[in-house]
Amino acid sequence: MKKGLFVLLLLVSIVSFSQEKENYKKVVSEFESFYNDENYDAIYNMYNYDMKKALPLVKTKAFFTDLNKNLGHISKVEFNKLKDLAHIYKITFASEVRDLSVYLDNNNRIGGLMVTYHKPDNLKLLERNSTKLKLPFNDEWDVFWGGTEEAENYHVAYENQKFAYDILIMKDGVSFHGDAKVNENYFAFGKEIIAPCDAKVVKVITGVEDNIPGELNPEQLTGNTIVLETSNKEYILFAHLKYQSIVVREGQFIRQGGLLGQCGNSGNSTEPHLHVSLQNTVDMNIATGGKMYFDKILVNDELKRDYLPVKGDVIKNIGR
């Protein structure tokens, strides 16, 4: 599950500053005015030569038109910090708060510009779960991506999905029978997804249709989604659930083993599977992933306690 944010960036080396420079203050103020006036030609004319090559006028207009459509006008700009050669600003748009990174060259032309999700500085990192968890499904499933090394788990390269799992069901080395373009032919499709612990439902996304296997929906990254909050303020995200299968609502308390929904193929997914991850906040866009251990499970038919599954493991709960 991969998708970039709004990104336009050309940064060079590493320098530390302690406070906002006046030239940056002036340029960012002009940028704010041009953006709110929807004068994207003027923003383009603030670029230096390299930035214009990287983001021609047509792409600049498309980018800021889309940004304005999704987030609205800027109501407040606050200098936040300095990172490498860039000044970082906290930008309050009509609908959301984002971060704006700006780099100016020696002629005060924009040489780098990046809009990303705003991550509060007080978010605590989560090394691993302290809540005791069971696997979020019955039956025997296969770990397709899992572990702490990028070679066995590509999610490790992405901070907000770090240590996430992609889990499916395989028989005789394959995950489906018959026509590979039919979701119902995949062994995992429609299987029940259950709560791994007592928790509160804090986020639900529904209404996303399942993909035809092999196709992607990057515009709705996680597809039909549930996020649970444990009593220890740990957050568990379930993605790509089946269209119209979610049976819980936000604010609901659910017991361990309670039904959440069914495995599907919605969002940025190529085939029916479960994406499940542990994170330090409800919003995956600003989260940092943590390691997810399971209390007592069967792994390749052997009992394991407090275990972190890895790619290739065949895993199952003990009992029902």
pLDDT at 197: 98
Q: Per-residue pLDDT tens for 298-311?
A: 999 999 999 999 99
Q: What is the reported pLDDT for 76?
A: 96
As a three-state string, the secondary structure of the chain is CCCCCCEECCCCCCCCCCCCCHHHHHHHHHHHHHHHCCCHHHHHCCECHHHHHHCCHHHHHHHHHHHHHHHCCEEEEEEEEEECCEEEEEEEECCCEEEEEEEECCCCCEEEEEEEECCCCCCCCCCECCCCCCCCECCCEEEEECCCCCCCCHHHHCHHHCCCEEEECCECCECECCCCCCHHHECCCCCEEECCCCEEEEEEECCCCECCCCCCCHHHCCCEEEEEECCCCCEEEEEEECCCCCCCCCCCEECCCCEEEEECCECCCCCCCEEEEEECCCCHHHCCEEECCEEEEEECCEEEEEECCCCCCEEEECCC
The per-residue pLDDT for 113 is 95
The 10s digit of each residue's pLDDT in 111-134 is: 999 999 998 878 899 999 999 999
Global pTM reads 0.81
- List, for the chain, all residue ranges whose pLDDT scores fall below the cut of 50: 2-17
Q: What is the pLDDT of residue 1?
A: 59
Give the pLDDT confidence score for residue 18 in this predicted structure. Answer: 62
Residue 9 has what pLDDT? 45
> Which sequence spans correspond to the domains of the chain?
7-117, 141-317
Question: Which CATH number is associated with domain 7-117?
Answer: 3.10.450
Q: Which CATH class is domain 141-317?
A: mainly beta
